Every structure is written in C-alpha cells, then in structure tokens.
Structure 1
C-alpha cells in the first residue's frame, strides 16, 4: 500500500512545502477542498456527535491473509490482456434484474464491513450466476456471528477470504439490514446517528459480537437450514487492474479491502485520492464498476457507512495506481446456483 503510507502529506503550494497536520473534521474538510481538485469533502458524520477519533472505530478489516492452511487460488482472466473493455461499466445497469447490487448497508458501531461486503457480493453473484432464478439477500449477521474464529474477530474485524471459504463449506442464510423481517437473519446493529439537531452524543466503542443463533430471527416462519445458500469456490483476483475489470464484467462485483485514512471519512464526490490525515485501519468495500472522470480512471465502489455517506453510499477511487491498496486484496467466488 505504498501510495498511502504517510500519516501526514507534504503539499507544494506556491513553491512552499507545507506540512499539514489534521485535527477536527472541519479543518480536514477545508484542507481537502482547498488543496486539490479531483474530489470534494464535506460532513458525512455530525461533528457535534462524532469526532475524528470516534470515527476511527468504524474500519474493521484484518490485513492478514488468513486461509486456515488452505491454498487459495488466484484468478487470471486473459493472461495476454487482449480483451477490449468498455471505458465505463456499472454492474447496476448491466444486471438490472439483480436488486442486491443496489443495496447499501450501514454497519453501525460494529466493524463488520468484512462480513457485510462479503454477504452483499455473495447476493449479487447468486443472482448473476442463476440468471435471476435466485434473487435474495445473504445475511451479514449470520456470517458475522457464526463464522467465529475462522473469520476473525466479529465486530472487531475479520478476514474476507475466510468469509468466502465459509460460504463454500458451511453456507450462509438470508438476511438484510437492521429491523428487516423479510428474510431469516437481519443485521442487529442500528445505523449511526446522522446530521441533525437535538441528537445525543454517543460513543462508537466497538460492541461485543452477538452469539451465533442457528434459527431465523427476522421472518420466524422460515426454516434456518432451508434458507442457506452456498458458494462453489473462493479465490483472490490478480492485482492487475484489467484482471479485476475482467472478473467484474464476467462474474459480477468483487470484494476489495484497502487502507483508510481520516480524509476518507469526509468524501462527498469526485475521484478519491488520499491527501491528508492519519491512517485509521482497513475497510472492505464492493467494487461494482469503473470509469473515467476528467480523464482520471476510477473504480466505482460501495461502502458500509449508509446512504448518507459519500455519494449515496458509493464512492470513486483512483484506478490503476493501487490507491491505498485497493487493488492488492480483491477476493470473490462462484455462487452455487443449482
């Protein structure tokens, strides 16, 4: 993750090198908007409720390549890279019959992006591989609580690769967001408070991971075992950008993890490039497409901080330079559609 290894960034402005040390959200927003032109910063989290220190608790991907001793294959498409790809691609438009691709969840206080993004990507691929015969939502809650030590530390972060391995061998039931009772296991953590007056300040301290409950807690009329879906395999995708593009356009959205810095919390629009702020941790996101903006290549991705964050929960991040490690650890798998 060489592109984003510095906790402070040196900017050359009018032949002067200025060391920028970021403090609160407003200072950081003003800094980003003044010093660059590829993306815009703004308030996504109420500064009266959450400080930057609070927001640091929102990222939760473990960087270790935990595989439990299993050799995980790396997928390569078209080794000669002769395939001509479109300049722009958006999975939401390419597979309009798969509503899960439009899904944006809010992880709340639980550092569950590793499980949420895995579950959403699994949902997408179930629909795509079955040609819309299976249109459902895989439960992040079931994955978060029942994978256990194999997947990491639950609400304190986990391993995306292990989540896909669990999907293959154990299966994961259906489920959607907080309060939903349509499917088997809804997500149990309420969204974070957003902008607005009269709200109480609260901590973002990481909560305990709920216990695994092998029964349906949302729609209680459903049978837990019958609600399980399975994967066929799990793999990493080559870090070559065109290989990632080929994987997406052939098989559907992928799960990627990258290093988060403080300025990412303030992203509103444009093509994100790390500019300033301390390193926070790892975050898992779903890459659903790509494009170019003002001749700058980008990945189109979905985050887990709700629709009030960024561009209705999505963001663009610079493509082709491994920005913050976004191209280093891309994982996916085939979903069983029979």
Structure 2
C-alpha cells in the first residue's frame, strides 16, 4: 500500500508539472493523450517497483527461515559437542536429518494432548537418520520368554521406586556401541547386590561386553543369553574401576576365582503381557528388572509418559525397570536407560502401565545372587 500511495503522488505531481510546461500550445486532445501516456508509464513503473519489493520481502523471509534453521543446527552442534571438522557433504547431510527430525517432532507431539503425555524434541540423536539411530543404539534382541504363570500379587504399594532405597546406580552412557543388553544385566546385578545389604557400586559392563561369548559385543546381544552365560560360568563381575568401559568390544580379561566380585546364582525371564500387575509384584519382590523393549520412537523422547508410537512390534533395546507410579491419572513404569543423563528425563523414560506399551512386558528378567 505504501508503494501505491507513493506512485499515485508522483503521478499527480508530474501531471501538474507537465501542464505548466512548454507543451501548452498543444491542442486539448493531444494534451489528454500525453497525460494518458504518462499515466500508463507511471503505473507500469510503480507496478514493477512493487513486484521487486514483494520479491525482496519473500526472499528475505526465505533467507531468514534458512538462517534460523542453520542457527538452530549450529546451536545443536555446539551444545552436544559435535566434531568441528565435519564439513561439506557430511555436514549438509546432518543438517537435513536435523530438519527432518524437527518435522517429526511436530507429528509425534500432535498425539500428546494429555498433561502428562510424552514430549518429543531435539536431543543428542537429532542429527541421525532413523536408520542410523537403529543401527547404532537399538542392537538388543529378546529370546522368547515363557508366559508368567505365578500367583497374582495383592496389596501392592501405589508407588515404588528403588532409587529411593539407594539401590539403583547412576545413569550410564553406552555411547555409539550396541551394548544396552549388557548395561541392563549389570544394572540388575548392581541393584540386587545393594538390596542384599552390600554397598551400591558400579560393576563392569565392559567385562560382560568382552566375555559373554554368546553375544556379539557392540554389535548386539540378549540379556537372557548374558544371564545364562553368567549363571553357567559363575564369572564374578568386578567393579567398573577395575575393568572400565571403552564403548568398543575388546579381549576378555580373566580373573582368578579367588578374586572378589559379584556372581549370578540364578535368574528368571517371563512374558508379562496382559499381567503387568504381576510384573509390579516381581519388581517389588526381586528388585529392578532387565527388560527388552521397542525403542524406535525414543530417538526423539524428551520427557513425559509414553502412551503411543511404539509400533514397530520389534524388540530392539534393553533397559532397567526400577519402579512404578500409579498415584496419578496415568500409571507408569520408571525405566532407566543407558544413553546418558542428558537424554529423556535425566536419563529415564516413563512408560504407561497396562497396555504393554513399547513391549515393556514381553521379556522381563529378575536376577538372584
């Protein structure tokens, strides 16, 4: 509108100037034709200027949008300390994955309307494609577990959290190694050891990663196979300080039988599908449980209670169930992950109880020391 007003003003002024110039001898008809010609010319110039201005506005908006996206990506890279030497095609590819992730977050969040629902957004995995995320972090497998046939547990507390009893070690970070199966098993052993009355200490995940010959190290494994190896071999897990985690498969270090450590006497593995109340009883009776879940949508998880999106029907990630809470509108499991404390809710994820969400009840193991 501003351009139209300016162009109209210019047209009026020039017409007035023309009428008082030397062309006054022109006949009235010729004067009218000259005015018409000049008006057409002025309007054409005004239209061209307006078009260029609009084009500039659109270009500026597009550039601002791209710059905003680039700025978000740069902030993401700085926050999560991405390699500064990645340039060119690889950097562009990561930027595309980041942009696709932000679109995916909008879709996932469109289902999360309840106050306690899960929220999805930018985290340390936002520059990975879904396939890369699966290949790097979802490397667990679940051996078929028998349906639980034990007694129903009654009179369970409304809330249970083994962290409140100092029986859960801090969240660990498996890094770019498919070792979640080892972290879940070691986590269950650490908790069982503390519940027995010993001081809570972190045991060696690397020892399981290197020595469980039935599994494939960073290329994946099964909590049940690892527990079978621990039970049959009577291997004692040493403290993490003696056998630190390296995020890569190495050569197994053997220790003499006289060496101090923690060994597995026995374990159980069951399918609690349709029986999550009984699973709560197992958690109360035996301590934190190793479980294998479908974690495809966890690439984007930030917090809240997951109730949807675990739909691949493929168990692919091992975790540690440390508690539950049924006091609110949505009852949920409290699950410790192994992707570091910056992921999710300080390294934890909450999963709705009752519908076997994410396959949380499909393959659940309890450890006995």
The answer as to whether partners of 2:333 and 2:351 remain within 8 angstroms in 1 is: yes
Q: Aligned partners of 1:279 and 1:82: how far apart in 2?
A: 28
5 Å-filtered alignment, 1:130-141, equals 131-132=197-198, 134-141=199-206
For 1:34, the equivalent position in structure 2 comes to 110
Q: 1:311 and 1:184, CA in 2 relative to 1: closer, same or farther beyond 3 A?
A: same
User: For the residues of structure 2 that align with 1:266 and 1:252, how far apart are their CA atoms?
Assistant: 29
Determine the structure 1 residue equivalent to 2:330.
296
Task: Give the aligned partner of residue 129 of structure 2.
Answer: 51
Partner secondary structure for residue 333 of structure 1: strand
Note closer, same or farther for the CA distance 1:39–1:73 as it changes in structure 2 (3 Å cut).
Answer: closer
Answer yes or no: is 1:322 the counterpart of 2:362. Answer: no
Do the aligned partners of 2:211 and 2:251 also contact (CA within 8 Å) in 1? Answer: yes
Question: Which structure: greater strand fraction?
Answer: 1
Alignment TM-score, normalising by the size of structure 2: 0.66
Q: Which residue of 1 aligns with 2:246?
A: 188
Distance verdict in 2 for CA 1:245–1:61, change over 3 Å: same
Given that residues 169 and 200 in structure 2 are in contact (C-alpha distance below 8 angstroms), is that contact kept between their aligned partners in structure 1? no
- Partner Cα separation in structure 2 for residue 277 and residue 323 of structure 1: 9
Mark the CA change 1:58 to 1:288 in structure 2 (over 3 Å): closer, same or farther.
same
CA RMSD of aligned residues (A): 2.6
Q: Tell me what 1:214 maps to.
A: 254
Aligned equivalents of 1:276 and 1:327: distance in 2? Answer: 13
Other structure's SS at 1:315 match: strand
Matches within 5 A, 1:41-120: 41-45=120-124, 47-48=126-127, 50-56=128-134, 57-65=136-144, 79=151, 81=152, 83-93=154-164, 95-96=165-166, 98=167, 101-120=168-187
Say if 2:325 and 2:334, in contact at 8 Å, map to a contact too. Answer: yes
- Unaligned stretches of 5+ residues in structure 2: 1-98
Deviates more, 1:24-33 or 1:287-296: 287-296
Any idea what the Cα deviations from partners look like across 1:231-279, whole Å, max 9, x if unmatched?
1112114502122111111121000001122x21111111112338867
How many residues of Structure 1 are paired with residues of Structure 2 in the alignment?
265
Which blocks of at least 5 consecutive residues in structure 1 are unaligned? 1-22, 66-71, 177-182, 190-206, 216-222
Question: What is the CA-CA distance between 1:127 and the residue it aligns to?
Answer: 1.3
Distance in 1 (CA, whole Å) between partners of 2:306 and 2:108 is: 11
Q: Which has the higher helix share?
A: 2
The 3 A distance-change label for structure 1 pair 110 and 326 is same
Greater RCO between the two (CA within 8 Å, min separation 6)? 1
Deviations 1:26-72 (A, max 9, x none): 11111122332211112121534x3333222211112334xxxxxx8
Q: TM-score, normalised by structure 1?
A: 0.71
- What does residue 312 of structure 1 align with? 346
- Flag the 1:140–1:76 CA change in 2: closer, same or farther, 3 A: farther
Q: Give the Cα–Cα distance (whole angstroms) in 1 for the partners of residues 171 and 260 of structure 2.
A: 22
Residue 305 of structure 2 is matched in structure 1 by: 271
| Superposed CA offset, 1:180-230 (max 9, x none) | xxx2111112xxxxxxxxxxxxxxxxx6x2221225xxxxxxx78513321
> Which has more radius of gyration?
2
Q: Counterparts of 2:353 and 2:173 in 1: how far apart (Å)? A: 25
Structure-2 residue corresponding to 1:258: 293
Shift in CA distance, 283/122, structure 1 to aligned 2, threshold 3 Å: same
Picking from 228, 236, 239, the partner of 1:165 is 228
TM-superposition CA deviations, 1:254-312 (whole Å, max 9, x none): 00001122x21111111112338867860001001111475112111001111110001
CA 1:234/1:279 → structure 2, altered by over 3 Å: closer, same or farther?
A: closer
